[in-house]
Structure formats: structure tokens, C-alpha cells
Structure 1
Amino acid sequence: MRLIFLLLLLINFGCLASSCIVTDEMREQFNSKHAEDVTIDTTLRDSNFFVTIKLPESIEGQSSYSVLLVSDSLEEPTFIFPLDLYEEDNQTKAWYEIDAGLVRKHFVVVSLNDYCAPSIFKEVFYQ
């Protein structure tokens, strides 16, 4: 029994940990620096808005994104919906369509696939 206990003590139970802290100030700076890189086009067709989100080739060396549609508020959203990405004309895009009667305050949130990078957030203006 003592031998087993000694062996267990000698085994290295290594643990790797990392943390990531993104402050509100860092988030605002990142967003103001890169928000212009993301374009949102809205087009009214019949009674529906067709919205296209165009993403840059890369942001700070990252070219892999995820895009979310957030409703009402960034802090307390009514819903969050992931959007699929596709390539068209050598550009990464996402899109959605919404009935004009369902339009409310919406935001597009672009996250880099680097877990520690802040996200880019832009309000959608339906025109």
C-alpha cells in the first residue's frame, strides 16, 4: 500500500491553464479599429429586408470568423442566432432575410476564432 502511495506521489499530474481578460476599453478600441472592415448592406425586396454582411480577408492575421445576429441588446439579447458563412467573389460573407414587420434593433457580432480576441459589433440599420 505504501509503495502505491509513493508511486502516486511521483507521478506528475501536470496542469496547463491560461486565462484571457478582455476589458470594456480593449473591446471598444478593437471595435473602433476594425468596425469599418465589416460592411452591412440592407436591401428591401417586397416586404422583406435582405441583409448581407461582408467580412475582410483577415483581421489582425486571423481569417477565420464566426458571425452572430443579436436582437435588442448586446448585454441582454432577446435572441442570438449564428449565421453561416460562404465565399463569393473571393470574399467571405453571411446573410439573412427578415420580414419588415419583424424589424427591431439588431446587431451583427463578428468573432475571430482566437478565443482571446475581442469581437466586432455593428448595429444593423434597415433602410
Structure 2
Amino acid sequence: MTSDKQIALWNEKYVSLFKVSTEKNNNSFNVQVSLPNNIEGKIFKAVWLVVGDDNDPSFIAPLSTYEEDSKTKVWFAVKPNNNDKNVLIFSYGEGCGISVDVPIEL
């Protein structure tokens, strides 16, 4: 199991590798994130969208990636609700690999 301290260190070190763009679309936002294919030689494994409180999220779902302009990306649309936090959690490597939390600012 990975400690909160280790995840915080990874977040600080690697969050800048993820390029987040948001676009307002009526009452919702389209969110697109470009991600690295590997970190420290560990291959990208999965990404989850987590909405709400860290300890009691209101919604969690895995997302699919796609290729565009020779970059790996993930996309989702969200309607802001009650100031819920939206975070993408990216996982790299097998077992106890690297995890990076990317907050989405709407």
C-alpha cells in the first residue's frame, strides 16, 4: 500500500507532466488532459475520475484514453455541482507503481 506522503511527493514531482484544458459548454465543462505514456519507465496503466470529497466521493469511474496529435489523452464532461472537487488519478506501473492526482479546476 502506498502512503499518503509518497503520493503527495509524486503529485508534486509529476503533476506538471499533465496538460489540462477546460472549455465551458453552456452549463457544463469539457475537460481534456494530455498525459505522459510513462513515468520513471513505468507504463501508463489506468485513470479514474473521482468527484467529491477524498474520503467520501460521490462518484468514481474509470476513463478510457485515446490518441490525438500523437499524444495520449483523456476527456470527460462535467457540470459543476455544490463545489465538488474533480480529480483524475493516473496510475503507472504494476503493483505498487506510481499514482498521480491531477486536480481539475473549473
Normalization by structure 2: what TM-score?
A: 0.86
The alpha-carbon distance between structure 1 residues 23 and 102, as it changes in their structure 2 partners (threshold 3 A), is closer
1 or 2, which has the higher helix percentage? 1
Q: CA RMSD in A?
A: 1.9
- Higher gyration radius (CA): 1
Structure 1 runs, 4 residues or longer, greater than 6 Å off: none
What amino acid is the match of 2:47?
A: V
Matched position secondary structure for 1:65: strand
Which stretch has the larger CA shift, 84-93 or 41-50?
41-50
Gaps of 5+ in 2: none
1:31 is aligned to 2:11? yes
Structure with bigger RCO (C-alpha 8 Å, 6+ apart): 2
1:67-103 Cα deviation digits (max 9, x unpaired): 1110112222111011111111111100011235676
63, 84, 88: which one aligns with 1:83: 63
Matched position secondary structure for 1:22: coil
Q: Is the 8 A contact 2:28 2:77 kept in 1?
A: yes
Gaps of 5+ in 1: 1-20
1 or 2, which has the higher strand percentage? 2
Identity among equivalent positions (%) equals 28
